[in-house]
């Protein structure tokens, strides 16, 4: 099995991308710390995989459209569980993320209601998302609409949400809190 790896320079920093033939496996912030880097984890879980530099065309094309304000729908990648250990609860939360429209947010409580998973667990599962921006965990906010928790940092989360609002012709009704 061949897995391509590349770095993608985005407006919110460098993203590390790993992609299989089926599509993206990992999109994460290159400087993210505090947990085992997912590329290394993938190497451990798929020891026969050949990870080599490549264009990662599907992910880079999608990200380029997103940052240009013209996102394309991204469905939950069913193939992901073939490459990474993904629990049923992770899949439920991540599938729900794909239903949040561009330019909108949902609270952890709303995701919990939709999935039947406790809000605290939703927060943890949201934080374990392997596909930053593609699976829009940045669109999940606190019950009061405030920015809470994001692996790329709250400033990045705020930038992404502002970008989406600007792209759909809206602005924040109150000054950003980041």
Tell me which residues are annotated as active site.
Answer: 137
7, β-bridge pairs: 16
Q: Which residue has the tokens 């374990």?
A: 128
Please report which residue ranges of the chain form alpha helices under DSSP H.
38-45, 57-67, 80-83, 88-97, 108-115, 119-127, 154-167
Q: Of 145, 107, 102, 152, nearest to 127 (Cα)? A: 152
Helix axes 108-115, 119-127, angle to 10 degrees: 100
What are the distances in angstroms from CA 65 to CA 28, 47, 62?
17, 33, 5
Residue 175 structure tokens: 């000054």
Helix axes 108-115, 88-97, angle to 10 degrees: 120
């Amino acid at each position: 099995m061949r897995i391509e790896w590349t770095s993608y320079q985005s407006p919110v920093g460098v993203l590390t991308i790993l992609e299989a033939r089926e599509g993206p496996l990992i999109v994460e912030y290159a400087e993210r710390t505090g947990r085992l880097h997912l590329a290394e984890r993938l190497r451990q879980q798929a020891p026969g995989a050949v990870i080599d530099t490549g264009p990662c065309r599907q992910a880079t094309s999608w990200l380029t459209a997103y940052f240009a304000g013209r996102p394309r729908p991204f469905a939950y990648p069913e193939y992901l569980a073939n490459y990474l250990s993904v629990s049923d609860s992770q899949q439920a939360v991540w599938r729900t993320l794909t239903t949040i429209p561009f330019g909108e947010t949902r609270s952890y409580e709303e995701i919990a209601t939709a999935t039947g998973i406790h809000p605290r667990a939703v927060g943890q599962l949201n934080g374990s998302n392997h596909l930053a921006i593609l699976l829009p965990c940045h669109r999940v906010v606190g019950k009061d609409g405030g920015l809470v928790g994001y692996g790329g940092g709250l400033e990045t989360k705020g930038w992404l949400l502002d970008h989406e609002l600007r792209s759909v012709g809206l602005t924040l009704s109150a000054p950003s809190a980041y």
